[in-house]
Every structure is written in C-alpha cells, then in structure tokens.
Structure 1
C-alpha cells in the first residue's frame, strides 16, 4: 500500500500508513461536502435525501393525519408481530459479543492508539452518557414499567386476582405477591440492563475504533470499511448513513414525545395546566428553542454543562426517594431484583416459543427497536467522548456500570411505588396513566410539590440534552463525519426533530405513531448492527497484529 499521509483528505495516523492508501483518499474526495447558499455543509446525497425526506414526511403527516395514523398503526402491528424473534435474537448476539470482547485479548486495544489518554474524567463521561442515553426514558418508565409488569403485563396480581397463566412456568403462582414483584422487576431490568447498553456499546466502539485508530471519518459508514472497502464511499455507504439518520431522528422524536406527555401531565398535576395536544406542542416548541441555545454553545458549553446539572438533580431526587421512602425494602429489593433478573434472563431473552405475546411483542420488540434506533445517536456521542479508553475498559463501563445504575433507579422509584400498593394499599400510582405515575408516587412522600417540580425540570433538561446531542450527531453523519460543520446545519436538524415529534403526536395514532416509526426504522438498522459486529472483530484483530 502507498502512504497517503501527504495527500489531500484525511491523513493516515502516525505509523499507520498501511491503513489508508491513495484509493482511499480518492474515495474520500467523492463524499467531500460543500458550503451551500444557506450555510449548509452539504454532504451529497445523504444530506439532501434525508433532509428532503424528513421535510416531506412532516408535511404528509400534517396534511393527512388520519391516513398517516392508520399507516403507522399497521406498521407497528406488522413489525412487532412478524419480527419479534429477530429483535430478541439480535439483541442476544450483541450482549454475547460484548462479553466476548471483555474476556479476550482484543480488549487490550486502546481507542486512539497506545499513547492516547482520556479526554474526560469518569464523572464527566458518565454524566454525558446518562443524560444523552436514557434520561427521558428513565423518568417516564422508572415508576410506570415496574408497576405495569407487577399489575398486568408480567404476572402481577391483576384485578381478577391471579397471575398470568402464560408466566406460571417462571414460578409466579396465582396470588403470590412476592413472585409478582420479583418477576415485574426482572422484566423491567431486562429492558434497561445489559441488552440496551450492549446495543449502544457496539455502535460506539465501531465509531471510536475506525475513527480514532484507523483515521476514518466519524460516521456510521466508516465502520464498514473492512467489509466494503472503497465502496463505502459510494451508494452502499450512502444508504447506511441515510438509515442511521432516519433511525436517529425517529428514535429521538419518540423520546421527545414521551417527555412532552410526561411534562404536560406533571404540569397539570402541579399547576392545573390543561392536558392535551396544545400543551404538548407548546412544550416541544419551547424546549426545542432552549435546545437551540445549547446547540449554539457547543458540546462543552452546552451538552456537558446541562448533563452535569441533570445528573446532580437526578442523584438528589434518587437519594431523597431512597431515604424518605421504604429504605430497607429498597436496598434489599435492589439485591433481590438483580437476582431475579439473572434468574429470569434466559426465559425473558428467549427469541422463539414465547407465549407472552403482550410482553415479547408489545414491550420487548418495541424496546429493542427503540434502543437500536437510538444507537447511532448515543453510539456516536459516546464515541466522541471516549478516546483514550481501552476496549475492555470501554465495554465494561458502557455495558456493566450503567446497567447497575439503571437497576438502582428502577429499584428506588419502581420499588417504592410497588411497596405503596403492597404494604400501604395506596393505589393512586397504579391507577394513574403511565405519564402520571411518577408524580402520583411522589405525592405519597413528603415535599411532593418540590420533588414533582424537580421531576418536571429533569424531564425538560433531559429533553434539551437529547435534542442538542441528537442534532450534533445527525449533523455529523450528514456532513460526512465532520465534527465542525456549520451551526446552521445543526439548527436545521434540531428544529426538525421537534417538528417530527409534534406531527406524530398530532396524527391519529398519537404516541403509537411515534412507536411505529421507531419500529420501522429500527428493523433495517438491526441488520446494519449485526454486520457491524463482524467489522469490529476484523478491525480489532488488525490492531492487535500491528
């Protein structure tokens, strides 16, 4: 191979001229972007196709809300029922592959090269990871999911007075509250533990490895260079990046929709502000405007600061509920929930022969598609702040430690709500809509007005950091991997993230429309992630040989 370090394009990393040759720099010229008349750093054709498609989608959904709602409902039912086995099987592969990297010599490879050092401390790294990764979801489902599985979806003591018979083989006998609690927490942790974080780790590791160690652009297509070669700069690469843009945008829009409905419910509970689409649209519009300010401040001045503020507020709220609520039950429940998760993990992750259709299709299939649609966004964001970590350190931190924190969060908030039902007979949270259950749980604790307001504030700031981070990531993909594209372009994506969330909420399907688009874009991107695992393996092998 020829040393291309002196040619135009991205230079070869020092001492690694064998990785990039003249053909590569010619291929890179094919995706070079240019400044358009409105200040856009246009990356043809990814920016044009994805941008125009999103604009057309917004107008279509606004013009024909009933028709679009019917289409979204059909998509959701078709994909969840027909491909639930595929989502479950693929997620299992991602977990196994991550564990393989931890225990093999491939884990010793350092992202950025042998002499690289981390750009951020652990505290700053974790703060950005959590705020961008699962913030709104943890707020929305922290109480509602454990309560839902306890009550109905997963062997809870239902109104008829018994446990679902299709989960009786797991040991949940009819009327056994203790078994219902354990099974409900295990099901919740299943959706927030190893599997979602393995999905994020795959994309983040691929981007970091091929950008920092191989000198390729920080975009999804770069991860496929070992497989596609120079074709990665042509239409195969364009298709990969366009799929990543669609998946990211609809994944973010779904999270923003959940955040808007929860913030609206909280404001109604505290201040009597009317519920409805008008309030939700105003919330999304206002918070998107705040996100634009964060966009203008950049990564360190915007996302990093807001993430650390959010982590502080979230930690305070968690500690308050822990010590004011049933502390001993929460602490013992945390350990018991981990045990239940490990006990039921094989059955919960089984991709075939499932009888629990409501759970495996309505919950797990949607969740895996949601995490997969978020993976370009969260993965690229994690990659950008993870230079200098070894692969083993990276995978352990991204996979195991956040999973434990999610277990703690669900044990504190969900465990407190379930305890209120079982021990105190307080069923307000159980009877409330999903978006209101957090606030109803807090109502039974001291200082409920203050803590509920903090909860609303957390939802809003998580909303802002997700929108800002998502705009940054989509901007990077559509600009061919550039991390310094014009701010005008990032503003465009920030606005249309909010616009997509608004039009989907206004469609006939409401939140189900959001879920439908996540499922639909997550399906093809799952295939992308499966191929990405093989590419990572080949890339790490090459690093070990060098």
Structure 2
C-alpha cells in the first residue's frame, strides 16, 4: 500500500511524493508529538528522562544482554552454515560498489561519530572508575578499561547490523519483496505483513532509527562544540549546539538530496580518509611501540574474558554501573540496527552470505579495535607515564577528550581543526544515511524515494536531536535510545527465526510484485507469474 501524489504546483508540474499512509503518518505523528512534548516541558522533563532510563535499564538490562549474545551466536552460525554460499540477488548478481567503497560506507554509517566521541573518553573513564575491584589508575585498571571498551564496540554491535542487513538483503534481493523491515517477516506472518502487525514492525523500526540517529547527532554536536571551544573559545552552551545542529542538518540534507552515489558514497570515502589520516598521525607521533604492543594484548584480553564480560549482569555486585554503559550501548546499537542494517543491505547486493557476514562483522570490528587502541592507549600512556591530565579532563567534560589528547601532540591546532572536520563529516554521513533509510521504510520499500520526503526526514532528525539536547542533554539522548531500542530488540529475535525459515526453504531467486491499481493495494506476497507459466501460487 502506498500513496502517490496527484498534486501540482503553480507551474502545473506534479509534486512528487510516495508514502505508505499508515507507516509514514503514524511514525511522523508519534515522533513529532514526542518532540513537541519535550520542547513544551523543557528542562522540567530532565528528571523524567532520568527515571525512565533507570527503570528500563534496571528491569530489562538482562534482556538486552541476552538478546545481544543470541544475535551474535546466530550470526556466526549463518556464516559457517551451508547458507553461506547463497549469493544476495542470485547467482548472477555482481556487487554494485567496490570492496573499499563498500567498507567505507558501512563503517561510516555503523560507527562514525560514536568512535570519535568515546574513543578517548571511554577508556579513560573506566581507567579511573572501574566497575571491578581494580585500583584506579593501575595497570590492571588500564587493561580492564580497554577490555570493557572493546566489549561495547566489538563483535556484538556489528552482529546486530549483520543480522538485520542480511535479513533485508535476502528477502529483498533473493525473494523479491520491497526493501522494508516488515518484508523480513513474510515466513512468519504471510499476507499479514501488510496488516497491523507488519505496520507495527515498520513503525517501530522508523522510530528506533530516528531516535538512534538523533542520539548520535546530539553526541556529535556536543563534540563539535567542545572542539570549537577548545580551539576558538566558542562557548559550550545549548544555544550554540542548537545552531550547530541546524547548520550541519542543512549539510546532511544537501547530501541526501544528492543521492547514494553522488552524495553519501563520496562523503563516506572522504570522512574515512580524513579519519585514517588523523589516526595515522596519532599512531606515528605518539607512543607507537606501546600502541602496537597494546593492540595485540587488548585483542587477546578481549577474547580471553569474552564469555564472562558478555554475560555479566552485575548480579552479585548489586550495582548500577551497566545502566549508563553496557545497557545504553546495547540499546543504541539495536536502535541503529534498522538504519545501518537496511543501509548495508542496500549496498551489498551481489555478495555471498559468508562474504557479507565476514565483511560486516570481522573487518569493521578489527578496524574499530585499531582505532580504539590508537586513541585510547595513547591517552592511557600519557596518564600513566607522561604526566597525566587527560582522565581529569574527561571527568570534567567528556566531549573535549579527543582535543585534550591532541594537545599533547605537535600541530595541535591543526589536528584539532581536522578532528572537528572529521566529526562534522561523520555527523553528515549518519544523518543523510539515516534519512534515506527512514524514507525507504515509510515509502513502502521504494529505494529511490522522492526528494521532498528525504528533506522532511533529514530535517526531522535534526529537530529531534535539538529537542532532546534542549530537554535534558545526554541523559535525554540515552533515554530515547534505550526506550526506542527495547521493542525492536523483541522484533530482532523473531527476525532471526524468520530469516532461518526463509533460508531453509530457499530454492532460487523469485519475483514478487506490488499491486498498483487505482486504489491503494496491499503488498502481495504472491509470486509474479514467469513467462512460461501463466498462473500464481502461494509460498508455503
């Protein structure tokens, strides 16, 4: 079901739009209502956000931990199973993008701003405030700090992206359904995917995606403001951050209007290049030998403690440290998964399932580990052996952590400006990719939705980020992420089972269609007749 425009402007030209009436308007209405409520209540809502975050984290933290581990196990099973040889799009399909361009786009969409924000801040936070019984500032605290950071940024988040992306790519490119979240549930729901249950899935995905992206935008703009304050003395205030959100949202809108190849791909390649330049600068001019030694040791410790940390729930400590860290991260990655999953599905046609999972799960994880080690261990080295100061700065002002680190290197003004540019470029990439994905969902799977709709969602993302910052800062951003990620975590569990059923019954590419008669029709899950056979049959 979708609505297309019959309206014209003053010149008689047709005004183009293509929306699913239920998914688009309910999603947009719900989001706009929450934004209006946040703006209306203003600062008074901050305490409410704190209560909601504490409640969800306390009573459902175990569920987030369990869900993330099940998803990782399921992803690895798909990779090493007989399904790994299936090619997304059929045996004759070829990749649309080169492997380097593919990696650049999925990494920019998948991590981006978060790594820049937390790459220095998180290891230093755990270094001086560990949830385990390690002396603050000790070598054991440093090891545990890197291990916890690797846990939050390692295999678990990328497995969520992989399972969502694989589901969408398989059901779209191999089974012929529209590229939308509810299509992944045809084996479970059949024709009911085009009813209230299917619509609820897409609405949940839209809301989770928008709040997940808005959280990243809010985090990113805080870091941009911190960099501008550090370099140019521009004050760190909510008003400045709102102005930055407006300016950068306009840049993201221009990028998403330019399209996937002309805008998003080129920008992804640019920000990856700039980020690598910054990382190589820190690696070569920093404690290089310490970093290289640490990379090997960090990875070893990560896998050595993997089972214990990935299932840890603070049961016996009876503390709430996880609420602001692990549970927040798991909610953030789940909230991002419809966006990143659909985006990497859209750019991954032509790759086998084994190649897809290996590319999405293993390569970005390794790059993430390298990034965190270069920046996190450089900061740890300075605090442990070089006079310190970074940990204290992080405690006082988290967003400024990257720029405090760069102060200890030559050309700090130049590299700080480069850091600001990298943050902005990742900011824009996340926003334009998220806008495109949300528009595809609300346009019933149309992979090239009309430009006005892209503009609408890009603007709404910026508005949500601004409203959350105005209404409660980082606490509001974290609460929105966890609250929107919780219902989608349940959806992910059913999605994995649906994908297994679809792969088990797969016998080759099929063609499907969407009815487009005069009145809006439902998405058909009936195969379109092939030329040799003039009949239809239901999928069992």
TM-score between both structures, scaled by the size of structure 2:
0.90
CA distance in 2, matches of 1:151, 1:124: 39
Secondary structure of the 2:21 match is coil
State yes or no: 1:135 paired with 2:112: yes
* Partner residue in 1 for 2:160: 199
* Partner residue in 2 for 1:313: 274
Q: 2:368 aligns with which of 406, 416, 433?
A: 406
CA distance in 2, matches of 1:175, 1:46: 50
CA distance in 2, matches of 1:357, 1:344: 20
Shift in Å, 1:545:
8.0
Q: 1:532-543 to 2 correspondence within 5 Å?
A: 532-543=495-506
CA contact (8 A) 1:136 1:459 kept: yes
Q: 1:322-471 to 2 correspondence within 5 Å?
A: 322-352=283-313, 353=315, 355=317, 357-432=319-394, 433-471=397-435
CA distance in 2, matches of 1:216, 1:449: 51
Q: 2:90 aligns with which of 113, 118, 124?
A: 113
CA distance in 2, matches of 1:375, 1:79: 19
State yes or no: 1:484 paired with 2:458: no
CA contact (8 A) 1:125 1:385 kept: yes
Shift in Å, 1:287:
0.2
CA contact (8 A) 1:140 1:435 kept: yes
Shift in Å, 1:36:
6.4
CA contact (8 A) 2:160 2:337 kept: yes
1:188-241: CA deviations, max 9, x gaps? Answer: 000010000001001100000000000000000000000000000111111000
1:360-397: CA deviations, max 9, x gaps? Answer: 22201000000000001000000000001111111111
Shift in Å, 1:489:
0.6
* Partner residue in 2 for 1:34: 4
Q: 1:190-339 to 2 correspondence within 5 Å?
A: 190-339=151-300
CA contact (8 A) 1:153 1:358 kept: no
CA distance in 1, matches of 2:118, 2:148: 12
Shift in Å, 1:354:
5.2
Q: What's the RMSD between the two structures over aligned residues?
A: 1.5
5+ residue gaps, structure 1:
1-30, 155-166
CA distance in 1, matches of 2:393, 2:226: 14
CA distance in 2, matches of 1:503, 1:179: 41
CA contact (8 A) 2:393 2:404 kept: no
State yes or no: 1:513 paired with 2:476: yes
1:128-153: CA deviations, max 9, x gaps? Answer: 01111110001000000111111103
1:309-333: CA deviations, max 9, x gaps? Answer: 0011011111110000000000010
CA distance in 2, matches of 1:218, 1:225: 13
Shift in Å, 1:115:
1.3
Secondary structure of the 1:536 match is helix
CA distance in 1, matches of 2:147, 2:200: 38
**Alpha carbons of structure 1 residues 107 and 55: separation in structure 2 relative to 1, 3 Å:** same
State yes or no: 1:100 paired with 2:77: yes
Shift in Å, 1:293:
1.0
Q: 1:151-162 to 2 correspondence within 5 Å?
A: 151-154=128-131
Secondary structure of the 1:389 match is coil
CA distance in 2, matches of 1:370, 1:254: 8
1:12-57: CA deviations, max 9, x gaps? Answer: xxxxxxxxxxxxxxxxxxx133226564322110111111222222
Shift in Å, 1:356:
6.9
Q: 1:44-193 to 2 correspondence within 5 Å?
A: 44-154=21-131, 167-168=132-133, 172=134, 174=135, 177-193=138-154
5+ residue gaps, structure 2:
8-14, 510-540
CA distance in 2, matches of 1:44, 1:128: 30
CA contact (8 A) 1:430 1:437 kept: no
